[in-house]
Copies of this chain bind each other. A is one copy, B any other.
Amino acid sequence: MSAKIPLSELDLICKQAQEAKIELRRSSKAKKNDALKYASEFLLKNKAKLIDANTIDMELASQKDLQDSFVDRLELNEKRIDSMISGLDKVINLDDPVGQTNQSHTSPSGFEVSKMRVPLGVIGIIYESRPNVTADASALCLKSGNACILRGGSEAANSNAVIEECMQDGLDKASLPKYSIQLIKNQDRKLVGEMIKREGDIDLLIPRGGKSLIRVISDEAKIPVLKHYEGLCHVFIDKDADLKKAIEISVNAKTYRYGICGTMETLLVSEEVAAKVLPEIKSELDKLGVEIRGCEKTKEVIDVKSASEEDWITEYLAPILSVKVVTDLKSAISHINIYGSGHTDSIVSENLSSVETFFNEVDSSSVMHNLPTCFADGFEYGLGAEVGISTDKLHARGPVGLEGLTSQKFVIKGQGQLRS
């Protein structure tokens, strides 16, 4: 913290977060759950107020030239608020990782060594104009004993302010510091630039949004950033695949939703089964309006556009699929490791030895067997809500839930041993 007087807006927020984190670190599991429960009650009570605030946000947004998907994410209605509230209830029911200690071992000098999970401290989250993230992300930070500083997209400012108020009222009612959850209200973009340099004040920064935003923040940040780059996910249909499963999984992986990071962008097919599965996959995808771009060998089997080198590195986030026929498992793995984004990749096969090789050698945050990649999601994994899906290898990889918001410290219990 710089000691400048008067304190800037961000100075004050950071100072308040630092104070809150000390209380949070020592607060009981029950107290944190109480705060979440009260917050969900305040959200329920203030539903009308929240919808009014959101209506203002939506009206202001309608005056801008925004994409439909953007406006859709901004909108709140009764059902979505109920889902936000039930999200908080789900967080209450998650195991609290704080204080968990692993099995201890005895050191050569006879003292006891173990590791204990502890909160990171203060988490900064920079996100798009999605009001539900304000509730989801702050609930996960609170449950894991961290204070958080939220910077949401400006279009959601009014909705976010109401949600922050409900969360803070919940904290207050549970006798926890209300500044455990703080929203930066000043919409000046300069504050993001300041926030990402707050070494010592913010322990971890989680940017959510487009690849270019994450890239800029990672490059300029002076504090650790949990990166969630793109999901260029593959499904590989092995020669030993159950062909019915292969077709269903491929179609589901592409068409469940086009805009999520777990969507399959490239389908790899063993040349031994290409002629058996590609026609049916094409016929299903044709019905759903998905364009296929194939390699030369694919085009020998189905009548599709040509894929270029560029296609193998493109996350379409759209009804487009690139298809490549590969010689074998080894060439599939090699393609994935070269062109993939290390997010989620799946093998369809009944040969467990091939599955094991795929699991060991594909260098991605999630490797799957006989499943569509669109399952890549914290809730689907049974981890509860997530703050993002990390494509980093360090600290947290894949869907990041409560554990990714904590750290482990060594706890060493001695009986007066001395080092000689």
Contacts and interface: CB of A to CB of B under 8 A. Distances in A.
Contacts of A375: 107, 109, 111, 412, 414, 417, 419
Interface stretch (A9-17, A278-286, A376-384): A376-384
B371 A417 contact: yes
B361 A419 contact: no
A384 to B, nearest CB: 11
B121 A410 contact: no
A393 B144 CA distance: 15
A212 interface: no
Interface residues of A, number: 68
A2 interface: no
A407 B418 contact: no
A284 to B, nearest CB: 12
A204 B394 contact: yes
Interface hub of A113, A245, A415 (most chain B Cβ within 10 A) = A113
Interface string A377-417: 00111110000000011110111000000011111111111
Contacts of A408: 397
A414 B121 contact: no
A353 interface: no
Interface stretch (A155-163, A320-328, A362-370): A362-370
Interface in A135-182: none
A67 interface: no
B372 A419 contact: yes
B26 A361 contact: yes
A399 B410 CA distance: 9
A47 interface: no
A196 interface: no
A380 B414 CA distance: 12
A308 interface: no
Contacts of A361: 22, 25-26
A374 interface: yes
Contacts of A107: 375, 380-382
Interface in A244-289: 245, 248-249, 252, 256
Number of copies: 2
A402 to B, nearest CB: 14
Contact of A108 (B111, B382, B412): B382
Contact of A25 (B256, B360, B370, B416): B360
A242 interface: yes
B366 A416 contact: no
Interface in A95-153: 99, 105-109, 111, 113, 116, 118, 120-121
Contact of A245 (B219, B371, B372, B416): B416
Interface hub of A116, A203, A242, A363 (most chain B Cβ within 10 A) = A363
Interface string A79-109: 0000000000000000000010000011111
A339 interface: no
17 contacts: A26-B360, A109-B380, A111-B371, A116-B359, A121-B393, A203-B394, A204-B393, A219-B222, A224-B392, A248-B418, A368-B412, A368-B414, A369-B412, A371-B416, A374-B419, A394-B395, A399-B410
Given A108-B382, A369-B412, 6 more contacts: A121-B363, A256-B418, A367-B410, A367-B412, A369-B413, A393-B407
Interface of A: 22, 25-26, 99, 105-109, 111, 113, 116, 118, 120-121, 203-204, 219, 222, 224, 242, 245, 248-249, 252, 256, 337, 359-361, 363-372, 374-375, 379-383, 392-395, 397-399, 407-420
